Amino acid sequence: MSETDERVLFLGPTRRDAATGAALITGAGLRCRACASLDELCREVPNGVGAVIVPEEAAIGNGADMLRAAIRDQPPWSNLPVLVLTAAGPTPAARVKALIELGDVTLLKRPLEATEFLNAVRAALRDRRRQYQVREYVAGQARLAEELRDADRRKDEFLAMLAHELRNPLAPIRNGLAILQMADGDRAAVRKTYGMMSRQVDHLGRLVDDLLDVSRITRGKVELRKEAVDLNAVLARAAEAVRPTIEARRHRLIVTQPGRPVTVSADPTRLAQVVGNLLTNAAKYSDEGGRIDLILEEDGEAIVRVRDTGLGIPADMLPRVFDLFTQVGRTLDRADGGLGIGLTLVKSLVELHGGTVSAASGGPGKGSEFTVRLPKLVRARGGDAAERPAAAGVTPRRILIVDDNLDAGDSLATLLEMTGHRVEVARNGPQGLEVAARLRPEVAVLDLGLPGMNGYELAGRIRAEPFGKDVTLIALTGYGQEEDRRRTREAGFDHHLTKPADLDALAAVLRNGVH
């Protein structure tokens, strides 16, 4: 609220009245400007006013027009209180009607008691204060609308970018299919094409994973699997994952580690994702042949720095690069773009770990540095950082797969057989039940969207059989939201995996998650 917002503009019936009235008002700790004429008063209204006080004779005839115009020019939230000092004795009804039409009018009959006068002024200002609350609310709504428009625009841009990014890998995959069809035993061509297609499918998978992650994180649905983790190992894992990207752009990666464990309580996969995203960005946003430093340090906290010699970030963008869908200088033809969600994920994941991340840059062309700070784990007395169990050998299982997508079911079966399991595939619910009765599977992997009898029902039917109590039921579905997971849990599934099946996740379930 500005200083003038609460002032009273006062035109007294006479100069002396004006002086006395104004003194009374300011004496009560209120602001008042005594005006010499209605003209002056009306000119002051746009500069801020809490209430106006005018004598009756100023508010009729031409004066009324002037006052009405000043009131009309107020913003829509305004209903300016007008106190009209009327002459002693009865005011003719027609005049009262004309005065009232001015707006929020209170008639004060002269002569007035000082307290009565001040009470009327205070009531008018209270009324005005409520109008200012409306003004703030309206302004807040306008800001919100602006923010929504902005978010909407960014979402539109994002959708265009997403379509573009998802389409990019499709062309080489389609070419790859054509090549494989024509390869005709040319093993070198097949191997090369296979490598290319795998890379592109991985890339697509990463985009979709990022999208799912960001939606889960923004809805607070991510659970960290925390354990005592040595950040040296996390850095090594992230560097390894990003090495192909770094090498493809002929960058030099220099890793500096303190030569002792730096232990934090964290989800190692998620932290590797954080460091990996920062390294990928350093590689993407540097001209070929750059230098990337990955540094692990510690003071009171564990600190990971990713520094590059690349494009840098303009100062005005630094605070915004972590916002969803934000990209500096976004164009649809960027060769190596992402979706503008990598840094949002980084920030959210770091904050979920109780840490902070910040960006610094000397400006365009001067490189960037991202710093992640994490609270160090205070070890329990005599405690050691958790040892990860050694990878156990595969225990062969009897596995039933039910999937109406022939390729999906068969390829999964082949992969599982190759790792030593006995697998049978059924195409629909009734068939699945039949095979289960014969195979007595230890594990059943069920697609949910089956024709006829869906996966939930099939799970229930298997569970109801005497042999079904101990079967480990795994739902395999395209839907990975918490709501979907809850449904599968309630239907009696032990595990929920999203398509395309992540073999590592399935292998982990087969290793550790079977009854």
In whole angstroms, the minimum distance from the beta carbon of 512 to ligand ADP comes to 33
CB 285 within 8 A of CB 279: no
Please, which residue, 93 or 335, has the CB nearer to ligand ADP? Answer: 335
In whole angstroms, the minimum distance from the beta carbon of 168 to ligand ADP comes to 13
Residue found by looking up tokens 């499709």 in the block: 170
In whole angstroms, the minimum distance from the beta carbon of 331 to ligand ADP comes to 10
Report the SS3 class of residue 104. strand
Please, which residue, 324 or 462, has the CB nearer to ligand ADP? Answer: 324
Considering only CA atoms, which of 129, 136, 40 is closest in space to residue 81? 129
In whole angstroms, the minimum distance from the beta carbon of 354 to ligand ADP comes to 21
In whole angstroms, the minimum distance from the beta carbon of 338 to ligand ADP comes to 2
Please, which residue, 96 or 318, has the CB nearer to ligand ADP? Answer: 318
Task: Name residue 306's beta-bridge partners.
Answer: 294, 370
Task: Name residue 104's beta-bridge partners.
Answer: 81
In whole angstroms, the minimum distance from the beta carbon of 375 to ligand ADP comes to 24
Please, which residue, 274 or 448, has the CB nearer to ligand ADP? Answer: 274
Structure tokens at 372: 């992640």
Q: How many CB atoms lie within 10 A of CB 287?
A: 12
Residue found by looking up tokens 């400007």 in the block: 33
Residue nearest ligand ADP, Cβ-based: 338
Residues at the interface with ligand ADP (CB under 6 A): 281-282, 285, 308, 310-313, 321, 326-328, 337-344, 368
Contacts of 45 (CB under 8 A, 6+ apart): 9, 52, 70, 71, 73, 74, 80
In whole angstroms, the minimum distance from the beta carbon of 345 to ligand ADP comes to 8
Please, which residue, 27 or 364, has the CB nearer to ligand ADP? Answer: 364
Considering only CA atoms, which of 320, 216, 221, 322 is closest in space to residue 274? 322
Considering only CA atoms, which of 330, 309, 293, 361 is closest in space to residue 154? 330
In angstroms, the CA 257 to CA 496 distance is: 38
The CA-atom distances, in angstroms, between 43 and each of 47, 73, 83 are 8, 11, 18
Please, which residue, 273 or 327, has the CB nearer to ligand ADP? Answer: 327
The helix/strand count (H/E) of the chain reads as 15, 17
In angstroms, the CA 71 to CA 92 distance is: 24
Please, which residue, 310 or 455, has the CB nearer to ligand ADP? Answer: 310
In whole angstroms, the minimum distance from the beta carbon of 290 to ligand ADP comes to 10
Please, which residue, 56 or 210, has the CB nearer to ligand ADP? Answer: 210
* Alpha helices in 7-79, H assignment, sequence order: 15-27, 38-44, 62-72
